[in-house]
Chains A and B, each alone.
Chain A
Amino acid sequence: MSVAVDGFPSREELRRSPGYPSEERLDRGACAVIECVQEIPCNPCETVCPYGAIKVGQPITNLPRLDAELCKGCGLCLAVCPGQAIFLVDKAFAPGEALVGFPYEYVPLPAAGERVPATNRAGEVVAEGRVIRVVNSSRNDRTPVVFLAVPLEVADEVRSMERRGQKPRPGQGE
């Protein structure tokens, strides 16, 4: 299992990366989870963080380093990351339930209260999620962030939801 073959980072690759918070920090509440494990020239996450919790520095190919103690879980970095590689995980959301936030640039968007199939990094449905809110302000610049409540045991797995875009067929939409 590796990002170069699977297309998404393995558990081990994530644990090794400087953007992944500790288990202990995640248990305490909302925190950014940065799944950026490849040195590409990019640093908007560093620029946007109002708390200085993300450091890229020079050169800008450095992997983002998360200071999880400074992270307030505001989620601003989720929409700004051009790679959509940052998520929000709150394992103290409710008893037995975690909150997972992820960028979701598809239509139609879900609405708060809806129940949707929550998917993992491979796009497989792993649980049912309850939509808590969808943030899509002008600051998001058309990258909506969906927050799902999911069973606590899948909090480290859920990273998106099943796409609901209808599949057009010839002749449709005329």
Chain B
Amino acid sequence: MTRSDVTIIGAGPAGLAAAIEAARAGAKVVLVDENARPGGQLFKQIHKFFGSREHFAGTRGIDLARKLCQEAQELGVQLVLDTAAFAIYDGRIVAGTTPKGTVQIESERIILATGAMENTFSFKGWTKPGVMGAGAAQTMINLHRVLPGSRILMVGSGNVGLIVTYQLLQAGADVVAVIEALPKIGGYAVHAAKVRRAGVPILTSHTVLEAKGEPEVSSAVICQLDDFKPVAGTEREVEVDTVCLAVGLTPLAELAWMAGCQCEYLPALGGFVPVHDERMETTVKGIFVAGDVTGVEEASTAIEEGRLAGIAAAASLGLLSPDEAEERMTAAWERLAALRMGPFGEGRQAAKEQLMKVGKAG
């Protein structure tokens, strides 16, 4: 059995940041990930991030991923890759499955940074080859350099839908339209403006009724919505070979549930999320959380939460003085607060406060 001070599950932005902070404080850190390389979804984020200088604003996700991976490596973080963590026993043993069998890692502290997965929704023909998650299309074009199709309908105008639309155009595909069930665009206006300038229409109050084609998608039927109900007579068939679904994400909280962490249902955060306190510790002592698993946000917020969890885990092991930990955590909380302001951030800020209030009451 491998032993460590801190075991972190998930090597995306939150997990890497947690690993860096804990290792910097002197902890022996094991970072587990089911993929062949660390970085999580960051290697697909080829666009420049928002924020300010301390949030790496203006840096592309791919470049940030390289930087974080390098930093973790330099600090001696032990990477355990190709390993899907499937259980936590006694709040201290992480069990994982690898192509070669199972492994166990025993540690004093565990940080869950498992991220989130894409939502989907069903409509006639949605199982046909050619209907896929927007993230799946993004993975294919930016990571594997293949197009999943050449004429695309994007369903959902949140930031994921808008960003992946833009990146599909950059990869050489055509996006015939972005459709949105709500009467207004969900994501940042600047992302919307980029795809509009490129000639992609954004149809609000629209949905997809059917994906047609045998054996794979060759067209899709879309229609207008009035108060989320299809308006008869507005059906239109658009010639597309791919339908991408960008309809939100759900936190991957299974391990937290299994470990007995209390979870709360907060729609603003994407569903059931583990309750945590200001130190990112869950209701199970010694288990911390960071990133999308505790509320779907951005990579930049995931990094700050990861830092908090890493610092708190190290401090709880006596590796940082309370004053040092306090100072570093206050700085991270200030950076987080800046990212959770404005019309897009304040809902998440309120939900996070609610989550932490539950943590205190518990």
Direct contact of A and B (CB under 8 A): yes
B-binding residues in A (CB < 8 A): 3-9, 35-44, 47, 59-61, 80-85, 105-106, 119-124, 141-143, 159-160, 162-163, 165-170
For A41, list chain B residues within 8 Å (CB): 50-52, 55, 338-342, 345
CB distance from B352 to the nearest CB of A (A): 15
For A168, list chain B residues within 8 Å (CB): 147, 150, 172-173
For A36, list chain B residues within 8 Å (CB): 190
Tell me if A160 and B198 are in contact (CB < 8 A): yes
A-binding residues in B (CB < 8 A): 47-53, 55, 57-58, 60, 147, 150, 169-170, 172-174, 183-185, 188-200, 202, 204, 338-345
For B194, list chain A residues within 8 Å (CB): 83-84
**Bound state CA distance, A168 and B174, in angstroms?**
9
Tell me if A40 and B172 are in contact (CB < 8 A): no
Tell me if B169 and A106 are in contact (CB < 8 A): yes
28 contacts between A and B (CB under 8 A): A3-B192, A4-B184, A4-B185, A7-B189, A7-B195, A35-B193, A39-B342, A40-B190, A41-B341, A43-B52, A43-B57, A44-B52, A44-B58, A59-B341, A60-B52, A60-B341, A83-B193, A83-B194, A119-B199, A120-B197, A123-B196, A141-B60, A162-B199, A163-B169, A165-B170, A167-B174, A168-B173, A169-B150
A-B contact count (CB 8 A): 143
For B197, list chain A residues within 8 Å (CB): 8, 119-123, 159-160
If A80-B58, A82-B48 touch, whether A122 touches B344 (CB-CB below 8 Å) is no
Contacts A38-B190, A85-B190, A168-B173 aside, 15 further interface pairs with beta carbons under 8 A come to: A5-B185, A7-B185, A8-B189, A9-B193, A44-B57, A47-B53, A60-B51, A82-B57, A82-B190, A142-B60, A160-B197, A160-B198, A162-B199, A165-B170, A168-B147
For A7, list chain B residues within 8 Å (CB): 185, 189, 192-193, 195-196, 202
Tell me if B190 and A84 are in contact (CB < 8 A): yes
For B57, list chain A residues within 8 Å (CB): 42-44, 47, 82
CB distance from B298 to the nearest CB of A (A): 9
For B195, list chain A residues within 8 Å (CB): 7
**Bound state CA distance, A49 and B341, in angstroms?**
24
Cβ-neighbour of A40 out of B50, B193, B202 (below 8 A): B50
If A5-B185, A119-B199, A121-B196 touch, whether A83 touches B345 (CB-CB below 8 Å) is no
Tell me if A83 and B190 are in contact (CB < 8 A): yes
Tell me if A9 and B196 are in contact (CB < 8 A): no
**Bound state CA distance, A7 and B165, in angstroms?**
13
Interface of chain A, main secondary structure: loop
Interface of chain B, main secondary structure: mixed
For B58, list chain A residues within 8 Å (CB): 44, 80, 82, 141
Tell me if A39 and B52 are in contact (CB < 8 A): no
Tell me if A83 and B188 are in contact (CB < 8 A): yes
Tell me if B188 and A40 are in contact (CB < 8 A): yes
**Bound state CA distance, A124 and B197, in angstroms?**
8
CB distance from A117 to the nearest CB of B (A): 10
For B340, list chain A residues within 8 Å (CB): 41
Please name the residue on chain B nearest to A165 by beta carbon. B172
Please name the residue on chain A nearest to B202 by beta carbon. A7
Please name the residue on chain B nearest to A36 by beta carbon. B190
Please name the residue on chain B nearest to A120 by beta carbon. B197
For A105, list chain B residues within 8 Å (CB): 170
For A160, list chain B residues within 8 Å (CB): 197-198
CB distance from A75 to the nearest CB of B (A): 15
CB distance from A108 to the nearest CB of B (A): 11
**Bound state CA distance, A159 and B58, in angstroms?**
21
**Bound state CA distance, A40 and B51, in angstroms?**
8
**Bound state CA distance, A60 and B345, in angstroms?**
12
**Bound state CA distance, A122 and B200, in angstroms?**
8
If A40-B50, A82-B49, A166-B172 touch, whether A123 touches B189 (CB-CB below 8 Å) is no
Cβ-neighbour of B52 out of A9, A47, A84 (below 8 A): A47
For B147, list chain A residues within 8 Å (CB): 168
For B185, list chain A residues within 8 Å (CB): 3-5, 7
Please name the residue on chain B nearest to A160 by beta carbon. B197
Tell me if B150 and A9 are in contact (CB < 8 A): no
CB distance from A37 to the nearest CB of B (A): 6
Cβ-neighbour of A42 out of B51, B172, B174 (below 8 A): B51
Cβ-neighbour of B196 out of A6, A106, A167 (below 8 A): A6
Cβ-neighbour of A60 out of B150, B173, B202, B338 (below 8 A): B338
**Bound state CA distance, A38 and B204, in angstroms?**
18
**Bound state CA distance, A142 and B345, in angstroms?**
28
Tell me if B48 and A8 are in contact (CB < 8 A): no
Tell me if A37 and B184 are in contact (CB < 8 A): no
CB distance from A122 to the nearest CB of B (A): 6
Tell me if A165 and B169 are in contact (CB < 8 A): yes
Please name the residue on chain B nearest to A44 by beta carbon. B58
Tell me if B184 and A5 are in contact (CB < 8 A): yes
For A159, list chain B residues within 8 Å (CB): 197
CB distance from A161 to the nearest CB of B (A): 9
